[in-house]
């Protein structure tokens, strides 16, 4: 029997109690809703809590489980969804006041799959305006409070509320999207697990878009096993998203516990480490010893493709501007000035430059495939710096721009190269702020990625740490 408080238990632990009868979906949902109500005034993680909907779903899950109708390991467990994901009848604001009345006519593909698996939506979490930012700041709806420090620190973006909600023990899982790091950055800064899936493995249908070439969907969780359970549920082809037509279903749970003995892992020696915080670098380098002790071959690998990838970032700007052009031209004054200025840069990108960059992407991705032919995964810092005080990051446009690029650097490389990635907790700074190890694997190798992350997690205890949240209750 675990001694971990209910709100910090993993989905796997909760699922066992739901089936043993020690816990019911209704009791679990009531507990999560009570924690949300208690912490939300400080955390500001949720854009829209849905308590009535959640309790109705919990009662239905309880009736089904009591009748022997078990929908699987996610049945009866609460979760939250970033406010980019459509939920029928609820607004999808994408973090902007421009979309307050944008009511979803149907569920997004992933929220529909989770509903069929019996999961219980607790509400929708805050995001950076239009998901275009890595620090997690939102000037329209407010910025979530990273629970690891009493002084407001940035949560990471753009899945800011999702990272905070999981880290603070409001929900065991929250959906995020990752275009340049928006799952892995908040996972790293908030001390959770964050999975960036390969584009085309999980449907984006019903997810407010930023870039059709880069958008991906993935979970933030308390354990790698939980991330695997969610991925197992949501990946696969979907007729509503043409990018998934070649999606390959793979049973990631079958190989999750196979360990890393005999695998070849490599520290990618390139820009990932440039100007990185010293405590971050030390913690991530130490992960090599953990893997070596588990029987993996750990080495250093020249990886110049990372630096080249950073020169090929105009695609996101061009696609973001294209998707927002009409709204931006009509309502520029209602966009965050920082986000508007970044999007407007796409206005002057020529079609020839865009197409040449896409060709360069393809060439670079083929080159990476050769470089990684005999390598199972790369090891790098998830973010080059830990969470910083929100006031310092948001002091002016220059400070914001510097920190935004700093948080996005290591993660955006993986998006451009088409890799799948996983951020797992690997330590803390002297100030008690989380540090994330990022594991990169080849496209569509989520099973290998999760297997490696699970082995690391089982050999360490960083994922068992949780923030002290009692100070929030007195505010």
Catalytic residue among 96, 158, 216, 412: 158
Choosing from 24, 96, 162, 182, the catalytic residue is 182
Q: Please report, in angstroms and rounded to a whole number, the separation of the first and last CA atoms in the chain.
A: 33
At 73, list the tokens. 């390991």
Contact 74, 61 (CB under 8 A): no
Q: What is the rounded distance in angstroms from the CA atom of residue 321 to the CA atom of residue 295? A: 47
Compute the radius of gyration of the chain from its Cα atoms. Answer: 21
CA distance 191 to 460: 14
Q: Any catalytic annotation for residue 82?
A: yes
158 is catalytic: yes
- What is the distance between the alpha carbons of residues 58 and 111, in angstroms, rounded to a whole number? 16
From CA 133, how far away is CA 177, in angstroms rounded? 12
Any catalytic annotation for residue 20?
Answer: no
| Upper half-sphere CA count for residue 45 (Cβ side, 13 Å) | 35
Which of the residues 82, 196, 388, 442 is marked catalytic? Answer: 82
Report d(CA 215, CA 193) in Å as an integer.
Answer: 19
Identify any residues that bridge with 408 across adjacent strands, giving them in sequence order. none
What one-character-per-residue DSSP string does 256-288 give?
Answer: TTS--TT-EEEEEESGGGTT--HHHHHHHHHHH
* Rounded CA separation 387/146 (Å): 8
What lies within 8 Å, CB to CB, of 229 at 6+ separation is 11, 12, 73, 74, 253
Strand pairing category for 217-221 and 264-269: unpaired
Ranges of H-type helices in 203-272: 224-234, 252-255
Contact 159, 153 (CB under 8 A): no
E strand intervals along 182-242: 193-196, 217-221
Strand pairing report for 297-302 and 264-269? parallel
Distance CA(28)–CA(51), nearest Å, equals 13
Judge whether 32 and 122 are in contact, CB under 8 Å. yes
Active site residue ranges: 82, 158, 182
């Amino acid at each position: 029997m675990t001694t971990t408080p209910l709100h910090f238990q993993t989905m796997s632990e909760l699922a066992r109690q739901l089936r043993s009868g020690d816990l019911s979906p209704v009791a679990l949902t009531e507990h999560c809703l009570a924690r949300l109500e208690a912490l939300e005034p400080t955390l500001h993680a949720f854009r829209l809590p849905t308590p009535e909907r959640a309790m109705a779903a919990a009662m239905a899950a309880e009736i089904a489980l009591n009748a022997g109708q078990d929908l699987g390991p996610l049945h009866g467990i609460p979760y939250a969804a970033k406010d980019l994901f459509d939920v029928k009848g609820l607004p999808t604001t994408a973090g902007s006041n421009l979309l307050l009345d944008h009511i979803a006519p149907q569920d997004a593909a992933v929220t529909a799959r989770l509903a069929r698996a019996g999961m219980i939506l607790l509400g929708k979490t805050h995001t950076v305006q239009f998901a275009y930012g890595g620090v997690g700041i939102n000037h329209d709806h407010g910025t979530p409070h990273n629970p690891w420090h009493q002084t407001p620190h940035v949560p990471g973006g753009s899945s800011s509320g999702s990272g905070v909600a999981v880290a603070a023990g409001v929900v065991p899982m929250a959906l995020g999207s990752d275009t340049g790091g928006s799952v892995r950055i908040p996972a790293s800064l908030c001390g959770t697990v964050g999975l960036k899936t390969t584009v085309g493995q999980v449907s984006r249908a019903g997810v407010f878009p930023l870039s059709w070439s880069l958008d991906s969907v993935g979970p933030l969780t308390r354990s790698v096993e939980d991330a695997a359970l969610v991925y197992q549920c949501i990946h696969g082809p979907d007729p509503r998203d043409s990018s998934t037509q070649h999606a390959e279903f793979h049973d990631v749970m079958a190989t999750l516990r196979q360990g890393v003995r005999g695998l070849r892992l490599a520290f990618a020696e390139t820009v990932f480490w440039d100007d990185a915080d010293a405590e971050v670098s030390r913690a991530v380098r130490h992960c090599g010893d953990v893997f070596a002790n588990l029987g993996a071959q750990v080495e250093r690998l020249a990886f110049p493709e990372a630096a080249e990838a950073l020169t090929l970032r105009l695609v996101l700007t061009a696609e973001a501007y294209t998707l927002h052009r009409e709204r931006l031209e009509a309502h520029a004054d209602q966009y965050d000035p920082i986000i508007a200025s970044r999007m407007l840069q796409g206005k002057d990108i020529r079609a020839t430059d865009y197409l040449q960059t896409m060709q360069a992407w393809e060439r670079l991705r083929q080159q990476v495939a050769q470089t990684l032919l005999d390598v199972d995964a790369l090891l790098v810092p998830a973010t080059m710096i830990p969470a910083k005080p929100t006031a310092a990051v948001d002091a002016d446009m220059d400070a914001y721009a510097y920190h935004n690029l700093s948080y996005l650097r290591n993660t955006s490389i993986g998006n451009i190269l088409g890799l799948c990635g996983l951020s797992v907790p690997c330590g803390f700074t002297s100030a008690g702020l989380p540090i994330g190890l990022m594991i990169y694997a080849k496209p569509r190798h989520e099973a290998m990625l999760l297997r490696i992350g699970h082995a690391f997690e089982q050999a360490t205890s960083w994922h068992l740490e949780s923030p002290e949240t009692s100070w929030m209750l007195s505010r």
